[in-house]
């Protein structure tokens, strides 16, 4: 098995977008996932590309850059694969604390379609994706990470990126790197109206409704902090439907299409872990995006690819360093 330039652990939206960006830059990649492509936190996403004004400044700045990158990403994927990513720009209504703000246009993607397009583009460019392979520990030679031990044996890479969502924490612990994430289960459902069409995204305090190009409406999402089970609770779906009907009454007569859940990784301070791991050569992280993985995927891919290629990212990563919680903060710039 040929050694890739970069071994990526995690085939969610973050790992796949990074793999695609690295291939664009001439790097060879291999992506490993313990389950199937796009079945972790990515599965819980509705695909909205709205920049939440309540985000902390480092995260808000990152999100603003990422939104701008999306149209080019989905166009390039379509040109290469002929597959749509479900990109739409629709009116967006935000209602919070009895105040309503109307935005003219806000972008969105359809996560399963985006994942499908990314996978095909990666494989067309020679990237390798392996599913149903558990990564057990990191391989270390002195101060350098050389690969991973998996359920199928050892795999090596010139550099290793950990983008495995909640699975990133125990993997990093095998070399004594203590990141801090909580599981947050999110449940969603989709419906299809029997008549008419919802022409805007509705984001209210208790529920959101996201219309898709094929006529489905995504309704979400619950947040169960500390829960890692992906079982969908009947009461949660009932609550989401009641809130959705209150916001948009035609939902009452809609046909139920699907229900699902996913587990998102949330960090203690709400900021993802991004960049090189200080003090360990050959190891990078891109995890802890919580509800913002879809939105932040393009900018995460760019800054991590910059790090892989030893270029200075345009975005300062000090606030996102994975060792920022340690008593002796090694993340501060010299």
Q: How many CB atoms lie within 10 A of CB 194?
A: 9
Q: Is the pLDDT of residue 258 over 90?
A: yes
pLDDT at 96 (0 to 100): 81
Single out the residue of 278, 195, 189 nearest to residue 239, CA to CA: 189
State which fold the 183-266 domain adopts: D-Amino Acid Oxidase; Chain A, domain 2 (3.30.9)
Residue 272, pLDDT score: 96
Report the pLDDT averaged over residues 142-156. 96
pLDDT score recorded for residue 52: 67
Confidence label for 54 from pLDDT (cuts 50, 70 and 90) = low
Mean pLDDT of 31-42: 92
In terms of Cβ atoms closer than 10 Å to its own Cβ (0-12, 13-18, 19+), residue 259 is middle
The average pLDDT across 174-203 equals: 94
Residue 122 in tokens? 């990666």
Tokens linked to 225:
């902090």
User: Structure pTM?
Assistant: 0.94
What pLDDT shows up at residue 150?
97
Task: Give CATH for domain 6-90+107-181+269-320.
Answer: 3.50.50.60
330: CB partners within 8 A, 6+ apart = 278, 279, 321, 323
Q: How far is the C-alpha of 188 from the C-alpha of 243, rounded, in Å?
A: 13
What band does 251 get if pLDDT is binned at 50, 70 and 90? very high
Fold matches, 6-90+107-181+269-320 and 183-266: no
pLDDT value at residue 136: 96
pLDDT at position 334 is 37
Q: How far is the C-alpha of 25 from the C-alpha of 23, rounded, in Å?
A: 5
* Angle ∠(209,215,221) on CA atoms, nearest 5: 25
What is the residue extent of each domain of the chain? Answer: 6-90+107-181+269-320, 183-266
Per-residue pLDDT tens for 98-107?
Answer: 789 999 999 9
- Cα separation, 85 vs 73, in Å, equals 9
């Amino acid at each position: 098995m040929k050694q890739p330039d970069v071994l990526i652990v995690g085939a969610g939206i973050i790992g796949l977008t990074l793999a695609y960006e690295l291939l664009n830059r001439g790097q060879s990649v291999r992506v490993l996932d313990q389950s199937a492509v796009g079945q972790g936190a990515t599965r819980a996403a509705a695909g909205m590309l709205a920049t939440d004004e309540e985000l902390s400044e480092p995260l808000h700045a990152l999100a603003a850059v990422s939104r701008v990158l999306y149209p080019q990403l989905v166009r390039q994927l379509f040109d290469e694969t002929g597959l749509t990513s479900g990109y739409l720009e629709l009116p967006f209504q935000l209602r919070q604390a009895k105040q309503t703000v109307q935005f003219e246009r806000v972008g969105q993607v359809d996560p399963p379609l985006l994942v499908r397009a990314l996978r095909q583009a990666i494989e067309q460019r020679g990237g390798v994706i392996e599913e149903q392979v558990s990564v057990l520990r990191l391989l270390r030679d002195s101060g350098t990470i050389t690969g991973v031990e998996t359920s199928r044996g050892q795999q090596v890479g010139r550099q290793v990126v950990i983008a495995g969502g909640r699975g990133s924490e125990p993997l990093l612990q095998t070399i004594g790197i203590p990141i801090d994430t909580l599981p947050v289960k999110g449940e969603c459902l989709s419906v299809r109206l029997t008549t008419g069409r919802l022409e805007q995204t509705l984001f209210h305090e208790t529920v959101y409704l996201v219309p898709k190009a094929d006529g489905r409406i995504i309704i979400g999402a619950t947040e169960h902090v500390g829960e890692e089970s992906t079982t969908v609770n009947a009461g949660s779906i009932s609550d989401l439907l009641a809130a959705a009907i209150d916001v948009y009454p035609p939902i009452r007569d809609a046909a139920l299409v699907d229900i699902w859940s996913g587990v998102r990784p949330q960090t203690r301070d709400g900021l993802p872990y991004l960049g090189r791991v200080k003090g360990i050569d050959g190891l990078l992280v891109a995890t802890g995006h919580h509800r913002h993985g879809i939105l932040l995927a393009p900018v995460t891919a760019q800054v991590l690819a910059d790090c892989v290629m030893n270029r200075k990212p345009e975005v300062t990563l000090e606030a996102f360093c994975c060792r920022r919680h340690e008593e002796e903060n090694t993340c501060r710039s010299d």
